[in-house]
Structure 1
Amino acid sequence: MATLNNIQSVRMCNNFLLSMLSEDDYRNLLPRLELVHLSLRDVLAQKNTRIGYIYFPCTAVLSVLSYMADGSAIEISAVGNEGFTGMEILINSTHSVETVICQVEGSSLRMRVSDFKAAITGNTSLRLITERYAHAYMNQMAQSIVCNRLHTLEQRFARRLLVTHDRVDGNAFYLTQEFLAGMLGVCRPSVSVVANEFQERGLIQYSRGHLRILDRARLEQTACECSNRLIHSRCESAYYPQPLDRVQNKKMDLVS
């Protein structure tokens, strides 16, 4: 995990949640934020261990995993540039409920838990936005649990690709079959069969972990009703009080 800290770099990091802060709160937060580069499989929080940092992903995508006693795991949620990790702190907990790892490498802002607690003390815009996001996150997690129980592997595979696609720049990203199998709670050969089928149908291009979305529209048709596009739009309406184009304009004003 590489540290890339300077205030100008922090200002340029595109986390939508932080973009919604009032200008005063955002400027006051800048000295407490650190820009880091997250690599694939970096462990940011481990189940039942003390949380050290709050992460606000920019280009990185994170997976929240629930582990069983035998070591098997399944993904229960994903966090990208729409959110943050460590929401347990909002309810005065000090330990992580689940394990959080980096799924797609990239940049993220982070701050120490002590600084985050200080920043959400009182009726601050950071507290308001993070509480709204926590509500949206719980909706997403509940939907993921239902999806894992009721829908086919093909539907869940398509939805999982959409989850990542919504959170990265462009149509290409790195996601191995082994990693996908772990997130979906199935064996790797099952993922290989579905991936080959999707390639034959012209939905994706996939080789040695390098995946490219070729036909987003047909991928959405293949996915179940839990498709992340629907979930993401619901999440946005839950905690963004203004359109995203205004968020971007505000962020550019802060950079200048």
Structure 2
Amino acid sequence: MASTRSRAASVDTFHDPRKNHLLAALPPPDFAAIAASLEPVTLRLGDALYASGVPLQHAYFPGTAIVSLHYVTTSGASSETAGVGHEGVVGVPLFMGGGSTPGSAVVQTAGLAFRLSRTVLQREFDRAGALQRLLLRYTQALIAQTTQTAACNRYHSVEQQLCRWLLLTLDRIPSGELTMTQELIGSMLGVRREGITEAAGKLQAAGHIRYRRGHIAVLNRAGLNARACECYGVVKKETGRLMVSTHHHDASSNHP
């Protein structure tokens, strides 16, 4: 009987929307207003959550999944503008009034997310309560990440970009291992696969990572940090400054 209760508790914890830091930071009344409408969904690697110019129908609050926001050119080339993990939400145009975006959202790391319909999100946002305040602060953090990514892609080496990307991804996953091909990383950074191969080879030779058949294991995070440009620190600091309330609430979000 005890083991049955333990398994049930584990399942409940796994599907707890408060794995997402924004949802965890909501005061109980605000969380209760949307809790029944939050649908747990399993996101698979490569799933497209929305496409360029198509009206969005849902927002996604990642729990263990990571979603990459892309800009795609008319020639089909693409580059990541920002990543979204348990710290944020995918679907900013829904509450900022745009309804759609020229970019796309693709799952970078498979995992769990919590889906909320456009109708419920807009209703609660328009109440001008805690959810609205959190979403607006997160939007500023996302803008900062997007701006820094653009500068990084323009001025820094492929190796520095790769270190930044790996460090930001590590902040969003519980382990130091990623399932990711060099071709996909190249697509996200907007560089040729050969450039990623060369940069990853240098990091592996230095003992910072191990790369095998689409799996990257980070062996020395401090080493990556030392070789990264300032962009990782800027994004991390600004996100932490703007979203400090989510960290405080998240620390106590596992209470019954």
TM-score scaled to structure 2, two decimals?
0.91
Pairing of 1:228-239 with structure 2 (within 5 A): 229-239=233-243
Counterpart of 2:129 (choices 124, 143, 153) is 124
Counterpart of 2:183 (choices 173, 178, 184) is 178
1:142-200, Cα deviation, whole Å (9 max, x unpaired):
00000000001111111111111111111111111110010111111221111111111
Q: Distance in 1 between matches of 2:176 and 2:244?
A: 25
User: Kindly tell me: are residues 7 and 31 of structure 1, through their superposed partners in 2, closer, same or farther at Cα, counting changes over 3 Å?
Assistant: farther
Unaligned runs of 5+ in 2: 1-10
Q: Distance in 2 between matches of 1:143 and 1:9?
A: 33
Counterpart of 1:42 (choices 39, 47, 55) is 47
Q: Distance in 1 between matches of 2:249 and 2:189?
A: 36
Pairing of 1:109-120 with structure 2 (within 5 A): 109-120=114-125
Q: Distance in 2 between matches of 1:19 and 1:76?
A: 26
Residue type of the alignment partner of 1:136: A
**Is 1:248 aligned to residue 251 of structure 2?**
yes
Question: Is the 1:9–1:35 contact (alpha carbons within 8 Å) kept by the matching residues of 2?
Answer: no
**1:196 alignment partner in structure 2:** 201
> Following TM superposition, by how much is the alpha carbon of 1:236 offset from its aligned partner in structure 2, in angstroms?
2.2
SS in 1 for 2:32: helix
SS in 2 for 1:193: helix
**Is 1:217 aligned to residue 222 of structure 2?**
yes
Counterpart of 1:154 (choices 154, 159, 162) is 159
Q: Distance in 1 between matches of 2:109 and 2:203?
A: 21
Residue type of the alignment partner of 1:188: R
Q: Distance in 2 between matches of 1:204 and 1:9?
A: 29
User: Kindly tell me: are residues 186 and 8 of structure 1, through their superposed partners in 2, closer, same or farther at Cα, counting changes over 3 Å?
Assistant: closer
1:66-125, Cα deviation, whole Å (9 max, x unpaired):
011110001111001000011112222211331000001111111111111111122211
1:22-59, Cα deviation, whole Å (9 max, x unpaired):
11111221111001110111000111101011000111
Question: Is the 1:54–1:84 contact (alpha carbons within 8 Å) kept by the matching residues of 2?
Answer: yes
Counterpart of 2:77 (choices 72, 79, 83) is 72
User: Kindly tell me: are residues 22 and 166 of structure 1, through their superposed partners in 2, closer, same or farther at Cα, counting changes over 3 Å?
Assistant: same
SS in 2 for 1:218: helix
> Following TM superposition, by how much is the alpha carbon of 1:11 offset from its aligned partner in structure 2, in angstroms?
2.5
Question: Is the 2:19–2:86 contact (alpha carbons within 8 Å) kept by the matching residues of 1?
Answer: yes
Counterpart of 1:83 (choices 74, 88, 102) is 88
Residue type of the alignment partner of 2:89: F
Counterpart of 1:16 (choices 13, 21, 44) is 21
Question: Is the 1:120–1:126 contact (alpha carbons within 8 Å) kept by the matching residues of 2?
Answer: yes
> Following TM superposition, by how much is the alpha carbon of 1:240 offset from its aligned partner in structure 2, in angstroms?
2.8
Q: Distance in 2 between matches of 1:148 and 1:211?
A: 22
> Following TM superposition, by how much is the alpha carbon of 1:245 offset from its aligned partner in structure 2, in angstroms?
4.9
Unaligned runs of 5+ in 1: 1-5
Residue type of the alignment partner of 2:61: F
Question: Is the 1:60–1:108 contact (alpha carbons within 8 Å) kept by the matching residues of 2?
Answer: yes
Q: Distance in 2 between matches of 1:45 and 1:137?
A: 17
**1:3 alignment partner in structure 2:** none
Query: How many residues are treated as equivalent by the alignment?
Result: 246
User: Kindly tell me: are residues 239 and 13 of structure 1, through their superposed partners in 2, closer, same or farther at Cα, counting changes over 3 Å?
Assistant: closer
